[in-house]
């Protein structure tokens, strides 16, 4: 459930009409709902009841400081994949001891900074990373908390670009090699092994692949325990899907109770790294129709948002709902391809959409809160859109629209 609903034919975000937001902040513009963000975060947190757990929100899904700050206020942890994401979390008031650091290519400066900040855990994905962390921890005179991200070789049954838990993917340490790395880590003086981690992909709409992965991870955990390597936490990554169209993903509560059931008597702290399931349906991209261009082949609605603002449709062929902000239009209902101004045939937000629209009308691209702004670019020298957050009957600018000067800030002419 989210808080983007029609009231008398006008689309609202909580108690604010989206047409008012467009008038005040311009378009294209990302609009988020605070109530939806908090509701979705709590759906994960509450599902655990008293069971020890930490929700580590995956920053890559949406890294706006205001959003990170809302989650930090709720007591959230954070899953980061770069130094930039760590600094965002800290700038937003997140606690270092609630940060886990994932990613296959952690640089030395990133590891050093994370050790200095005192993060909760490194999710190690490459054998060489373990030695690098051990050496840097020695240099800094600290002991590094680590877990291994294992690759359980499970088919997540999702888009191949966002499937990560198969042998052929670059992520994690093959589950059959992991035991060797755990033994090695147990001998390293500046490493403390505290957990195990896996993340098999994103936009999963069934529980089964998660449970298959968990079974494999638990088999390894039991084997480690028999060797005297005791782990404190189990991090199951993110990946729970959302409804874009007609998907019916499990609710966080069903997903969590299935996990807890599988654990039996084992007493671990459970960590999850959800991104999309928390922020995806808490945001929309607001855009205005610039021109209508009916041709003999197709009807094109050219809008002011483009693939640089929201790349998911172009990159993955992702389907996101596109709805009129005012449904009281006298226009006739026609089928439109919703396209942007960027000079690429792949620049579309949606194809074959039945809409009643006229030039100047506003459209909302739904489910744009995750991997929307964070994957935006300046392609075609387009300043990135504004981001606003609605909170009941008030609205706050949480990122100003980029200025033209910002496009070339940092660039230099030759002498
Ligand atoms: N943890 C790790 C280690 C990850 O790699 C990811 C996502 C997450 C957590 C969060 O996954 P989520 O709960 O959001 O599914 N850009 C793509 C999605 C890429 C996901 C990458 N990793 C998209 O727009 O569909």
Q: Give the model confidence (pLDDT) of 131-147 as tens digits.
A: 999 999 999 999 999 99
Q: Tokens for 70?
A: 């809302």
* Ligand 1 and 79: CB distance under 6 A: yes
pLDDT at 162 over 70: no
Share of the chain above pLDDT 90, in %: 93
- Report how far ligand 1's centroid is from the alpha carbon of 179 (Å): 26
- 278, 57 contact by CB (below 8 A): yes
* Ligand 1 and 312: CB distance under 6 A: yes
- Backbone φ and ψ for 402, nearest 5 degrees, come out as -65, 145
Can you tell me the distance from the alpha carbon of 119 to that of 116, in angstroms, rounded to the nearest whole number? 8
Q: Beta strands of 98-232 (E only): which ranges? A: 99-101, 121-124, 144-151, 173-174, 191-197
CB burial of residue 131 (10 Å; 0-12, 13-18, 19+)? middle
ipTM over 0.85: yes
Tens digits of residue pLDDT in 62-116:
999 999 999 999 999 999 999 999 999 999 999 999 999 999 999 999 999 999 9
Mutate to test the pocket of ligand 1, among 54, 101, 240, 273 (most ligand atoms within 8 A of CB): 273
Please state whether the peptide bond connecting residue 28 to the residue before it is cis, i.e. omega within 30 degrees of 0.
yes
Q: What is the pLDDT of residue 22?
A: 98
Share of the chain above pLDDT 70, in %: 99
- Report how far ligand 1's centroid is from the alpha carbon of 274 (Å): 8
CB burial of residue 228 (10 Å; 0-12, 13-18, 19+)? exposed
- Report how far ligand 1's centroid is from the alpha carbon of 78 (Å): 13
Nearest Cα to 63, choosing from 305, 364, 382, 370? 370
Query: Hey, what domains does the chain have and what are their CATH numbers?
Result: 4-32+280-408 (2.40.37.10), 34-276 (3.20.20.10)
Residues contributing to the annotated binding site for substrate = 276, 312, 316, 344, 371
Q: What is the pLDDT of residue 267?
A: 87
Q: What is the pLDDT of residue 161?
A: 65
Tens digits of residue pLDDT in 15-29:
999 999 999 999 999
């Amino acid at each position: 459930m989210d808080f983007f609903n029609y009231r008398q034919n006008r689309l609202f975000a909580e108690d604010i009409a989206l047409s008012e937001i467009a008038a005040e902040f311009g378009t294209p513009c990302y609009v988020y709902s605070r109530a939806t963000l908090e509701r979705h975060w709590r759906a994960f947190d509450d599902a655990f009841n008293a069971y020890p757990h930490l929700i580590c929100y995956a920053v890559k899904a949406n890294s706006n400081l205001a959003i990170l700050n809302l989650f930090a206020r709720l007591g959230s942890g954070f899953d980061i994949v770069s130094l930039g994401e760590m600094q965002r979390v800290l700038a937003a008031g997140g606690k270092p001891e609630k940060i886990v650091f994932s990613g296959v290519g952690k640089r030395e400066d990133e590891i050093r900074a994370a050790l200095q900040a005192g993060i909760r855990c490194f999710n190690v994905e490459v054998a060489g990373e373990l030695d690098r962390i051990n050496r840097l921890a020695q240099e800094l005179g600290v002991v590094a908390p680590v877990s291994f991200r294992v690759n359980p070789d499970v088919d997540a049954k999702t888009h191949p670009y966002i499937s990560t838990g198969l042998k052929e993917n670059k992520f994690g340490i093959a589950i059959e090699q992991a035991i060797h790395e755990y033994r090695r880590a147990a001998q390293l003086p500046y490493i403390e092994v505290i957990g195990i981690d896996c993340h098999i992909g994103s936009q999963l709409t069934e529980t089964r692949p998660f449970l298959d992965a968990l079974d494999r991870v638990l088999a390894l955990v039991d084997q480690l325990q028999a060797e005297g390597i005791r782990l404190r936490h189990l991090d199951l990554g993110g990946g729970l899907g959302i409804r874009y169209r007609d998907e019916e993903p499990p609710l966080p509560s069903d997903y969590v109770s299935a996990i807890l059931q599988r654990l039996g008597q084992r007493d671990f702290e459970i960590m999850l790294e959800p991104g999309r399931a928390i922020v995806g349906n808490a945001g929309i991209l607001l855009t205005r129709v610039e021109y209508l261009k009916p041709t003999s082949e197709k009807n094109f609605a050219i809008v002011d948002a483009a693939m640089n603002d929201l790349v998911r449709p172009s990159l993955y062929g992702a389907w996101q709902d596109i709805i009129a902000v005012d449904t009281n239009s006298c226009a006739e209902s026609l089928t439109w391809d919703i396209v942007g101004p960027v000079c690429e045939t792949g620049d579309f937000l949606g194809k074959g959409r039945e809409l009643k629209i006229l030039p100047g009308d506003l459209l909302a691209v739904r489910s744009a809160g995750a991997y929307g702004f964070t994957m935006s670019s300046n392609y075609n020298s387009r300043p990135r859109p504004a981001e606003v957050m609605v909170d009941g009957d008030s609205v706050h600018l949480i990122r100003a629209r980029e200025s033209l000067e910002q496009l070339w800030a940092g660039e230099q002419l030759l002498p």
